[in-house]
Amino acid sequence: MTDAISIKNLNKYFGEIQALKNINLTIKEGSLTALCGENGAGKSTLLSVIAGLQSASSGTLSVFDETVRNGRSPNGLGMVHQHFSLVPLLTVSENILLGDEPARYGFFSRHRAREIVYQLCQTAGTTIDPDAYIENLSLGEQQRVELLKALHRGKKILLLDEPTAVLAPHEIDRFLTLLATLKTRGFTLVLVSHKLKEIVSVCDRAVVLRDGEIVADLTPSSETIQMLATAMIGDHHLSSFTFQKDSPAASETLLEVRQLSVAPNVFSRCGLNNVSFEIKSGQILGIAGVDGNGQQDLFFTLTGAQPSSQGRVVFCQQEVTHASSEKRRKIGMRMIPADRQREALLNHFNLYENLYLGNEHLFSIKTEHRSQFASDMIKQWNIHPRDANFVVNAMSGGNQQKLLFARELHQNQKFFIVHDPTRGIDFATRQRLWQALSQLVSTGAAILLISSDLEELFALCTHLAVLYRGRLSPVFPINQINETTLGRLISGIGTEA
Amino acid sequence: MSKILQFVLTLLCVGIVLNVCAMIVGVSPSSVYRQLYATLHSSYGCSQIAFKATPIILIALGACVSFRTGLWNIGFEGQLVIASLATGIVGGYLPSNLPGSAGILILLLVACSAGAAWALIAGLLKTYFSAPEVMTTIMLNFIAMAISSWMMQHFATSESNHTIDLAPQFRFSTFAPWIKGSQLNTIFLMAIALTFVLHWFLFRTKTGFSFLAYGENPRAATLYGTSKTRTILLVFLVSGILCGIAACHYVLGSKGFHEDGFSGGVGFVGLAAALVAFNRPLLCIASGILFGALAYASLAINVLIPKEVTDVLTAATMIVILMLANGDQKRS
């Protein structure tokens, strides 16, 4: 067998940050390889460098022994993205043949289109109705259409970015069978996945990335599954951050969530299923899990931005199940969402104005005092640039996040919901933000920390629970859970599929 | 591009368009300019420009507030028509022994509440049914105009096609002897004052800030304590009230009654004026006067150049301004 993909000494920088460090990797033709690792480990970056969507900073990439020029898309290689690129109002055959339509007397020939799609289905060992409209198909079927589209274009190598993330359980099995069939027909497949179970069931090789480096390269099997889990998570003793997790003895319950359910919806397909937990003052409850398992639903339901379909939320002895965000803020809830630009910042407004959002009471004081407050905040949090008129859009992510922390933390409120606070944030700022969160708790506040970063969770939390497909695991005190158990819970091993 | 350069370029382009238009209709451009200068160079000409600018400024202010809040309210014409209709009808039936100031106050209230009520329809549809305000306000414009024509069948006097004339004590007097003959009235001063009030409101108050925040990022604003319902309803309320005041400019000011087609599409010109003012209240005075001047100038040169051509001129001016201001509509 020849090498389908071969990568030598590949590096990729984003500004100062090195996303991929000296990657050397060869993938054999006709193999099914999984790229796995935590969020931000560099899997997707590697995939898009191979697909030619991003150019490498240095190193060489060859596909079928042909060197690919940096940033070009290699011939015979197709990528299926997490978000499909299909036209919803066209049929399956029209989508597959888009740009290459079979014609008869200059008109689109439905008959021939159908035949082509049937042939493709045979090659792939699957079935699909060529005349169905995309908008009526399930996500699993749409994914099959994407695959057939790539096959029709003569692609021999398929790159799949988290293909099962959007699929329902029964669709996943069918999809995995399809992958296995494609492999036996000589196609080369590379997929990004977090889910150990899937990797073990179909892949014949697993390459684990952490912090942009390949840290493990093994054959997945039930014997090596533990090795895989630990390789993905890594050891967390590197952190210089220490936090004494002694919670005050007499603590009151701040937030109580009972059987909270959210129907799967258009915003996030997962929803929540009977989630119950409570947080006392002085606690940091970490919610671990891979993105897309209901984290967004949990965040927005608890902050009042999205309605719940069932269950109760009691906050500070007050029923807030149906309360607006405004009401929740008034009684002492503060929130830091994961996507700060979309959910939290006024991107075209300046630094000062962004500090006023949610602190509108500042408008009842004199203008000078108001700007004094803002400049104090900027000094206290060491936000750069110091220029008050600087537009937030042009600030770095770390400084935007510090701004957001300054805004939310300054009143020393009782309860904070924080979602992925340090994603994509450099080491020093990360330590600073962690410090701030741990200080809050020592003054009697409580934090719900939803995070996909295990290092962060172990560094900060007093309690941990895992969200998997909208269900919450039991809450463990941090000293009663180890990384292996956590890894299993996150990947859904030991729970029903 | 500096603002001054933008301004000079705009004038230049307008000049070119005017010259081309003049030549197309076979008039020498210089005679057009002479005519323009003669008409505008008088206290009467200037006050007529201010008169034309008054409703444009008021509507542009409403549009500024709406657009800044991210609400594409196109319904000013309809709000204006309803406010004017209500004021005209009520005004005609006010007892003639009522003192002038009381009558004016009542009519102002009627106008503002009618305008606000009409605006709130779109606001409620938006908040409770998420109906896109661009569509609903446009449709409400048509409905308002239809209601006006239908009501006029009942309320127009038999010898005219308008409502009963207001008693003279309910009319605004022209406010200075030196602008003899001009219909400029108190509403102009009110419009100028409101410009400053709204500027202060938007940039210096809590509610104003929440409007701006909502316009910039509604998700963030609502997550951080701005009520979506309250914001949307308030914005529509403000724009409706401003339309009510603009309606008084016609009913209590120039005309003394309500009739169909009284506004000449000023509800749409105001939108343009707000865009040209980059949604800044203070600049609305300038853009209002610009559009007022264009409207009056087109009357002034009507002898030489047909109205259709001057309409082209107004449209061309707007296109030039928007072209030059490309990308500048966000906050600088």
Instruction: Specify the pLDDT at position A197.
Output: 77
Q: Are B73 and B121 in contact (CB under 8 A)?
A: no
Q: DSSP string spanning A335-400?
A: EE-S-HHHHT--TTSBHHHHHHTT-GGGGGS-HHHHHHHHHHHHHHTT-S---TT-BGGGS-HHHH
Among the listed residues A257, A426, A449, A441, the one whose alpha carbon sits nearest the alpha carbon of residue A336: A449
Q: Are B7 and B320 in contact (CB under 8 A)?
A: no
**Token output for B199:** 């500027």
Q: Round to whole Å and give the CA distance between A252 and A14.
A: 45
Instruction: Specify the pLDDT at position B119.
Output: 96
- List, for chain B, all residue ranges whose pLDDT scores fall below the cut of 70: 1-3, 174-180, 325-332
Instruction: Specify the pLDDT at position A497.
Output: 39
Confidence bin at A236 (pLDDT 50/70/90): very low
ipTM of the complex: 0.80
Highest mean pLDDT among A195-199, A358-362, A468-472, B51-55: B51-55
Instruction: Name the H helices within B130-185.
Output: 133-155
- In this model, does residue A487 exceed pLDDT 80? no
The CATH number that domain A253-490 falls under is 3.40.50.300
Cβ within 8 Å of residue A73, ≥6 positions away = A51, A52, A53
Q: What is the largest CA-CA distance in chain B?
A: 62
Closest chain B CA to residue A299: B223
**Range with the poorest average pLDDT among A152-161, A371-380, A444-453, B304-313:** B304-313
Q: Round to whole Å and give the CA distance between B272 and B269.
A: 5
Collect all residues of chain A within an 8 Å Cβ-Cβ radius of residue B210: 360
Q: What is the pLDDT of residues A434-458, one digit of tens each?
A: 989 988 888 888 999 998 878 788 8
Confidence bin at A386 (pLDDT 50/70/90): confident
Percent of chain A predicted with pLDDT > 70 = 91
Burial class of residue B72, CB neighbours in 10 A (0-12, 13-18, 19+): middle
Residue A282: helix, strand or coil by DSSP? coil
Collect all residues of chain A within an 8 Å Cβ-Cβ radius of residue B222: 305, 325
Domain regions of chain A by residue span: 3-233, 253-490
Instruction: Specify the pLDDT at position B330.
Output: 41
Residue A495: helix, strand or coil by DSSP? coil
- Superfamily of domain A3-233 in the CATH hierarchy: P-loop containing nucleotide triphosphate hydrolases (3.40.50.300)
- In this model, does residue A416 exceed pLDDT 90? yes
Using H for helix, E for strand and C for coil, what is the string for A185-248? CCCEEEEECCCHHHHHHHCCEEEEEECCEEEEEECCCCCCHHHHHHHHHCCCCCCCCCCCCCCC
Look up residue B97 and give its amino acid.
Answer: N
Q: How close A327 gets to chain B, by Cα (Å)?
A: 8
Cis previous bond, A477, omega within 30: no
Instruction: Specify the pLDDT at position A174.
Output: 82
Confidence bin at A237 (pLDDT 50/70/90): very low
Highest mean pLDDT among A8-17, A484-493, B84-93: B84-93
Collect all residues of chain A within an 8 Å Cβ-Cβ radius of residue B70: none
Produce one character per residue of A172-198: b if its CB has 16 or more CB atoms within 10 Å, e if not.
Answer: beebbebbbebbeeebbbbbbbbbbbb
Q: What is the CA radius of gyration of chain B?
A: 20
DSSP H or E segment with residue A485: helix A483-491
Confidence bin at A382 (pLDDT 50/70/90): confident
Instruction: Specify the pLDDT at position B175.
Output: 66
**Token output for A401:** 């996040």
Collect all residues of chain B within an 8 Å Cβ-Cβ radius of residue A347: 216-217
CB contact under 8 A, A345 and B223: no
Q: Scan for tokens 């409620």, then name that residue.
A: B124
Residue A351 — φ and ψ, nearest 5°? -50, -50
Mean pLDDT, rounded, of chain A: 84
Q: Are A207 and A36 in contact (CB under 8 A)?
A: yes
Q: Round to whole Å and give the CA distance between B181 and B184.
A: 9
Residue B264: helix, strand or coil by DSSP? coil
Do the first three CATH levels of A3-233 and A253-490 match, i.e. the same topology? Answer: yes
Q: How close B7 gets to chain A, by Cα (Å)?
A: 25
**Token output for B290:** 């610009």
Instruction: Specify the pLDDT at position B327.
Output: 47
Q: Are A43 and A37 in contact (CB under 8 A)?
A: yes
**Token output for A260:** 């909270």
Closest chain A CA to residue B227: A326
Q: How close B218 gets to chain A, by Cα (Å)?
A: 9
Instruction: Specify the pLDDT at position A276.
Output: 93
Side-chain-side CA neighbours of residue A465 (13 Å)? 21
CB contact under 8 A, A349 and B331: yes
Q: How close A332 gets to chain B, by Cα (Å)?
A: 12
